[in-house]
C-alpha cells in the first residue's frame, strides 16, 4: 500500500498536527500518511491527536533528530458531536 509523505520539518507545535489533519481529511479511509517532523513535542501531540480522532498511529521513530509518524486514516467518518 502506498503512503503520502508530509514534510513538516522545522515547524513547531501545533503546526505539524494541523497540517497532518488537513492532509488526512483529503484521504480515503485506510490510506496511510507518513509525517516527518523535527519538533520533539510532536511525539505527544500525534499520540493524543490519533487517540482523539480515531486515526491509527501505526508507528513512530526518530533518526538524526527527525521524527517519522505513520498514521492510518480511520475508515469511516465520525459524528462531529463525538
Whose cell is 533518526? That residue is: 63
Write out the catalytic residue numbers: 13
The order of strands in the sheet holding 3-7 is 3-7, 32-37, 66-72, 56-63
Length of the chain: 82
Amino acid at each position: 500500500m502506498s503512503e503520502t509523505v508530509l514534510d513538516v520539518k522545522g515547524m513547531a507545535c501545533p503546526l505539524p498536527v494541523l497540517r497532518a489533519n488537513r492532509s488526512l481529511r483529503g484521504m480515503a479511509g485506510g490510506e496511510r500518511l507518513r509525517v516527518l517532523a523535527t519538533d520533539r513535542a510532536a511525539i505527544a501531540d500525534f499520540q493524543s491527536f490519533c487517540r482523539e480522532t480515531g486515526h491509527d498511529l501505526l508507528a513512530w521513530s526518530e533518526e538524526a533528530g527527525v521524527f517519522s509518524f505513520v498514521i492510518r486514516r480511520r475508515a469511516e467518518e465520525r459524528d462531529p458531536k463525538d
